[in-house]
Amino acid sequence: MSPFLKSFLSGRRVLGAYLRYHSSLTAELIENMDKKATWDRFYTETSSGKATFKNFEWFFGFDSVRDFIMPLLQTMSRPDAALQVVDMGCGTSALGPSIYRHSPVSVHVTCADISPIAVKLMQEHIQAKAIQPHSCSSQIEFVELDCTQLDKRFSPSTVDLIIDKGTTDALLRSREGKRNASLVLKQCLRVLRSSGSLLQFSDEDPDSRLIWLETAAQDPGVMTADVGVQEVGELRGIHYYCYQVTPHPAL
């Protein structure tokens, strides 16, 4: 079993047990992590029959990464406008809503996912919970969006921060693999401001991920990028990392 699937299955004990009894769904996740139908089925089956809504977190929750996100937002803060933040491949994670709730600077958080089922679940949850933001001018929205087509939603150089918690990992482990993941990376760099950043949270070792990022982020004559890495920590025997990618227009 891959570290990614191991961390996925152990993310919630109840969900892990559910998937063990639904082997066809587990097999579909392994083989088709890049397909909308797979995630529609996943969120439909894992939410049906439950009296109360529960967020599902890939890898870990907001508290594990808040010290990577919040200081970065504060360095980006602009007095004249809210920061544009995208939680890419949000699923039913509480990450985006937690940023909206806790950010001391004004943010417009877009939680985007390819599955309309996940989007609807989160919209209903947020409406029911009525979360209040730390900054009264902050906003949050949930949208159905294919992350290989970010530019259909966002204009070039308009986004301050994109957070990717497991989305690229899922793509890299799909049949289309690096082609789709590279397309997503280029889309991120296209919509990010030159002062913005992409944060990828992953269980992939830096020896592999850094080489791929440094290669895939280059677009000769158009775009280049700086890539850095910090260790998030160890959880359930798996090491996690934060990869920060910052775009620069080519000279």
> In CATH, which of 3.40.50.150, 3.40.50.720, 3.20.20.220, 3.40.190.10 is domain 3-247?
3.40.50.150
For 177, the token pair is 């693999």
Predicted local confidence at residue 54, as pLDDT: 87
Residue with the two structure tokens 């990618």: 245
Q: What is the pTM of this model?
A: 0.88
Residues 6+ apart with CB under 8 A from 71: none
Predicted local confidence at residue 221, as pLDDT: 67
pLDDT digits (tens, 9 = 90+) for 186-226: 999 999 999 999 999 999 999 999 999 999 988 776 678 99
Least-confidence region, from 80-84, 99-103, 144-148, 232-236: 232-236
Asked whether 112 and 90 are in contact (CB, 8 A), the reply is: yes
In the predicted structure, residue 43 carries a pLDDT above the cut 60: yes
For 93, the token pair is 């994670």
In the predicted structure, residue 27 carries a pLDDT above the cut 90: no
